[in-house]
Amino acid sequence: MSLIGAHELDRRGRVAPPLVLGRLGRHRNGFAKKLILLNDVRSRSTGPHVGTVLQEGDLTESFEVGTLLERIQRDRKAYHEFLRVPTMSAGLYVLPRGGKDLQAPHTEDEIYFIVGGRARIRVGSGDRDVERGSIIFVPARVEHRFHSIAEELTALVFFAPAEGSAGGPS
């Protein structure tokens, strides 16, 4: 298992917000088996949101990549947001082999973690290969696109702050 990121405890032993802790275990098909997200209750929003919104008192919510993939297939969409709190949002993005990535620049910073597949990504004027295990940071408002998708591409996508919350079209 690998640790994606975490914040330290404050001087009183309380979790310093926001705490985002992800542990990925390997499933027999190569996909990450489980993503666990923890967040401090002080960062909750009470408004209506797409996906899972953690409620006051909830400290842990876990998601199965396989279940998220089933949801994407059922809804016939490339992207499914599964978590939204004011400071970040997360989703799963799937592009088929040979598919087209039609996204436009976002108003928030973004990180992609490639769960499976092979492709290339253009970020600004740079272009590089991506595969399972690749992590890509895309600053807000920078043109970016996956292309040359050699194997179905599955990516965890993290926006900070939450997608669409920084103003302007996302």
pLDDT band at residue 6 using 50, 70 and 90 as cut-offs: very low
75-132 pLDDT, tens digit each: 999 999 999 988 999 999 999 999 999 999 999 999 999 999 999 999 999 999 999 9
Task: Give the domains, in start order, of the chain with CATH numbers.
Answer: 2-160 (2.60.120.10)
pLDDT, position 1: 26
The residue ranking higher by pLDDT, 65 or 55, is: 65
Point out which residues pair with 93 in neighbouring strands: 79, 155
Buried b (16+ CB within 10 A) or exposed e, 130-148: bebebebebebeeebebee
The residue ranking higher by pLDDT, 76 or 35, is: 76
pLDDT band at residue 51 using 50, 70 and 90 as cut-offs: very low
Asked whether the predicted pLDDT for residue 40 surpasses 50, the reply is no
pLDDT, position 53: 53
- Among 161, 148, 146, which residue's Cα sits nearest to residue 79? 146
Cβ–Cβ < 8 Å for 17, 43: yes
The overall pTM is greater than 0.85 = no
Strands 60-64 and 34-38: antiparallel
The residue ranking higher by pLDDT, 91 or 14, is: 91
DSSP letter assigned to residue 41: G
